[in-house]
């Protein structure tokens, strides 16, 4: 019966992911089917924590996130949870040997979102590590299983990719983060100080991170290379659009990729993958 409960829990994680993020669901479908369940389990878990700190405004967020953290580690230690999302996640953690320190770092960043509205450089890097890089490392552990040597070799470029994606999110959502949530993630910077010079500094970091990340993508196992590359091309296109925009426009509008362009990027990714160019 426990196997049936696990099956139902994994279905729940997939449904939860599909409900909250159609774009991410499409990205998972580009991965090999053998790893779909584990990636859905990871994303479902991440999504719950993110919703707690960002949208549960009528609830005691502090209490909820700490309870969720405690319940997460209890589920992992017990190898079971009556919470379907946590049961799926504990299965992925235990089956693939995901580092518990990554989960702790993730919760550290989620808790930062409850209180912090500005960051210094050290806090900024800590937040990006916990909110984005370790999520990529959880997925990487699934991608490379059971090859630990391959996993270890790909940690640096995987972290660069997670960092680049998160910084693009910060730029894309600059207006909403500041005016709706009161947050400015870029270190030692106010919304008024975000200008052409500071934008170029951030873009220089991103250019280096995208370049290093691509080196790692080319070394990924076949079960995930196309899916990760497709996400990479989407974020790279966002980066190109952001670079063309003035700093003032970035502060006042959300940069988007039209569906037509997304379809073109997907077709181009398929072609490059089949030609062995990645």
pLDDT tens for each residue of the chain, 278 residues long: 689 999 999 999 999 988 887 667 667 888 999 999 999 999 999 999 999 999 999 999 999 999 999 999 999 999 999 999 999 999 999 999 999 999 999 999 999 999 999 999 999 999 999 999 999 999 999 999 999 999 999 999 999 999 999 999 999 999 999 988 889 999 999 999 999 999 999 999 999 999 999 999 999 999 999 999 999 999 999 999 999 999 999 999 999 988 898 889 888 998 998 888 88
Residue 275 structural domain: 146-278
Q: 213-217: long-range contacts at Cβ-Cβ below 8 A with a sequence spacing of 24 or more?
A: 213/157, 213/158, 213/160, 213/161, 213/164, 214/157, 215/157, 216/154, 216/156, 216/157, 216/158, 216/160, 216/161, 217/157, 217/161, 217/278
Q: Are 77 and 69 in contact (CB under 8 A)?
A: no
First-residue to last-residue Cα distance in the chain: 43
Give which of 236, 102, 93, 220 is closest to 157, Cα–Cα.
220
Beta bridge partners of 237: none
Overall residue count recorded for the chain in this entry: 278
State the total domains in the chain: 1
Two tokens, residue 233: 């091309």
Cα torsion angle, 60, 104, 74, 25, sign: positive
What CATH code is carried by the domain that includes residue 261? 1.10.600.10
C-alpha 178, offset from chain centre:
20
The reply to whether 174 falls in a domain is: yes
Exposed, middle or buried: residue 276 (CB in 10 Å: 0-12, 13-18, 19+)? exposed
The reply to whether 41 falls in a domain is: no
The reply to whether 156 falls in a domain is: yes
The reply to whether 202 falls in a domain is: yes
Quote the CA–CA distance of 137 and 26 in Å, as a whole number. 20
The reply to whether 69 falls in a domain is: no
The reply to whether 180 falls in a domain is: yes
Beta bridge partners of 184: 118
Two tokens, residue 219: 């070394």
The reply to whether 124 falls in a domain is: no
| DSSP letter, residue 35 | G
The reply to whether 192 falls in a domain is: yes
Query: Global pTM?
Result: 0.95
């Amino acid at each position: 019966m426990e196997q049936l409960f696990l099956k139902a829990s994994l279905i729940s994680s997939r449904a939860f992911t599909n409900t909250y993020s159609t774009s991410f669901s499409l990205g998972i479908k580009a991965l090999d089917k053998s790893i779909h369940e584990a990636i859905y389990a990871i994303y479902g878990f991440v999504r719950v924590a993110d919703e707690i700190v960002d949208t549960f405004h009528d609830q005691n967020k502090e209490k909820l996130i700490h309870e969720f953290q405690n319940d997460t580690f209890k589920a992992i230690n017990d190898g079971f949870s009556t919470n379907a999302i946590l049961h799926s996640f504990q299965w992925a953690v235990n089956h693939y040997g995901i580092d518990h320190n990554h989960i702790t770092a993730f919760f550290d960043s989620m808790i930062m979102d409850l209180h912090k509205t500005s960051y210094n450089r050290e806090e900024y890097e800590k937040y990006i590590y916990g909110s984005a890089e370790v999520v990529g490392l959880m997925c990487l552990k699934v991608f490379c299983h059971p090859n630990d040597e391959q996993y270890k070799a790909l940690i640096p470029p995987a972290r660069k990719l997670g960092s680049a994606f998160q910084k693009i999110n910060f730029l894309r959502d600059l207006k909403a983060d500041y005016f709706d949530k009161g947050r400015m993630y870029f270190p030692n910077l106010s919304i008024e100080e975000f200008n052409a010079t500071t934008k170029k500094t951030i873009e220089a970091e991103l250019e280096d991170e995208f370049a290093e990340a691509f080196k790692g993508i080319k070394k990924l196992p076949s079960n995930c290379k196309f899916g990760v590359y497709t996400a990479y091309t989407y974020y790279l296109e966002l980066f190109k659009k952001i670079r063309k925009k003035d700093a003032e426009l970035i502060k006042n509008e959300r940069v988007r990729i039209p569906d037509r362009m997304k379809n073109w990027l997907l077709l181009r990714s398929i072609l490059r993958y089949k030609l062995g160019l990645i």
